[in-house]
Amino acid sequence: MTEPFDVDAEPYDGIPIDEIGQEEAERASISSLRRWKENLDRGVGESGRHRGSYVNTGGARGSITQEQESKYAYRTGSTHVAVAVAERGRDPSPGNPPPFDDIMEWAHETGLVVSKTFWPKGAGSFLAFLGQLDDDQTREDVLFVWHTMWDIAENGLPAFQPGRMAHIDTSNEYEERADARIEGAIEDEQV
């Protein structure tokens, strides 16, 4: 007859696929958020390059946020108009230009104009506003902004999709990292 004996064994918990998936999803969302902001700063995206430095990237960058929707899903987005224009473009809208002050801010930030002159409330028509300016450089800058805003109204702005580019890049990396970690865990278990 066989003698009874004791065996010490640890229960097998399996490969932590769920944990790996959650960690890598979080990592990918953080990377996507960071890259979206960097792409916006550089004016690059899935559809190419913006035709100049992008407008007010500080405000646009700060508006890009993320929230967790489920264990494996994060939503990254923004409600800022400049970010929506970067992702979707701005259709031509003859007779409806973007606001003068927004284009002046962009032109000054990117170094296209020297002065930073905003259209004061109650200044009246554009010609009245222009007539109130006392130096040639400021008049030139204001005319440049005026022509730029009406060019945007007539021709629109193409999308360059910095967020889409960030999403595509990070989703490919997410799959590769998660697969590599799971494969490593399987190899570690094969003793």
Polymer length of the chain? 191
Q: What is the tens place of the pLDDT at every residue in 46-60?
A: 888 876 656 656 788
Round to whole Å and give the CA distance between 134 and 137: 9
Answer for the pair 166, 36: CB distance below 8 angstroms, yes or no: yes
103 closest CA partner among 160, 72, 149, 157:
149
Phi, psi of 68 (to 5 degrees): -85, 130
The whole-model pTM stands at 0.72
Q: What is the tens place of the pLDDT at every residue in 90-146?
A: 999 999 999 888 888 888 877 888 888 888 777 778 888 888 888 888 889 999 999
Answer for the pair 49, 43: CB distance below 8 angstroms, yes or no: yes
Domain ranges of the chain: 17-90+158-179, 92-156
> Considering the chain, what is the average pLDDT of its residues?
85
